Structure 1
Amino acid sequence: MADHLLVMTTTPDQESAARIASSAVARRLAATAQVRGPVASYFWHLGEAGEGEEWIVTFKTTGVRYDELEAHVRAQHPWDKPEVTGIELAHGSADYLRWMEAATAPQG
């Protein structure tokens, strides 16, 4: 069975989060994407501590589609160096994982 991933990014606003989520699913790079926020974020950036509001986008995809999804998120993202992280799913219901594979299968 293919590897299955939870991939995340954060954005500065709901509009950019929704645009990235929607376009990734439309291109079948992710089977689904959820947008949550705003969340309080605390970070180290440009030599100092900062804080702000962010929106979280969580994608469900396969390892086969990860590189294309990462490239898409980076190209669509308003930040120069956005977070794009992936966590391999160790477990999941067989029907759901098969659906993820079918939903992200390259069309051609």
Structure 2
Amino acid sequence: MANIVIAQTTVNDEGKAYDIGRAAVEARLTAGVHIDARMTTFSWEKGAVQHERGYRLSFQTTTGKVAALKAWVHEQHPHDVPQWIVLPSVEASEEYLAWAVKETTAG
């Protein structure tokens, strides 16, 4: 049985975030995507703390689509090592699950 998951990545460019989000929905790899307003991130890179602005994309998809979505996002992503985190759902309504399954099924 399918279940809902939230898969997340980040990009530094607003236009690229919109392009990836829209295209993932059009490809039916995700039922929907939320793009969070610009955020600030700090991380270790190249031996020092780095500061960037970015956008988080949260894909609402099913367990059956995660692998395909991951491969697709990694192809589209501007970073060599994109952030990729999948958060399982503890609970989702039957109606929301049915919607996500319907919208991620080619048709």
Q: Per the alignment, in what secondary structure is the counterpart of residue 25 of structure 2?
A: helix
Q: SS of the residue aligned with 1:68?
A: helix
AA of the residue aligned to 1:15? G
Q: Structure 2: which amino acid aligns with 1:60?
A: Q
Give the corresponding residue for 2:2.
2
**Offset at residue 88 of structure 1 (A):** 0.8
State the secondary structure of the residue aligned to 2:78: coil
* Cα shift readout 1:43-69 (whole Å, capped 9, x = no counterpart): 111221111101111100011100110
Question: Secondary structure of the equivalent of 1:64?
Answer: helix
1:74 matched residue in structure 2: 74
Give the secondary structure class of the aligned counterpart of 1:37: coil
TM-score normalised by structure 2 residue count: 0.94
Q: Which residue of 2 aligns with 1:20?
A: 20
Percentage of pairs with the same residue: 28
Deviating beyond 6 angstroms after TM superposition, the runs of 4 or more aligned structure 1 residues are none
The code of the aligned residue for 2:46 comes to L
Secondary structure at the residue paired with 1:92?
coil
The number of equivalent residue pairs is 107
Alpha-carbon distance between aligned partners in 2 of 1:98 and 1:45, rounded to the nearest angstrom = 41
Cα distance in 1 between the residues matched to 2:94 and 2:57: 24
Q: Quick one: which amino acid aligns to residue 54 of structure 1? A: G
The two structures have a TM-score, normalised by structure 1, of 0.94
CA RMSD, aligned part only?
1.0
Determine the C-alpha separation between the residues in 2 that align with 1:34 and 1:40. Answer: 17
Structure 1 gaps of 5+ residues are none
Q: Which runs of 5+ in 2 are unaligned?
A: none
Matches within 5 A, 1:37-76: 37-76=37-76
Alignment correspondent of 1:92: 92
Aligned-partner SS, 1:96: helix
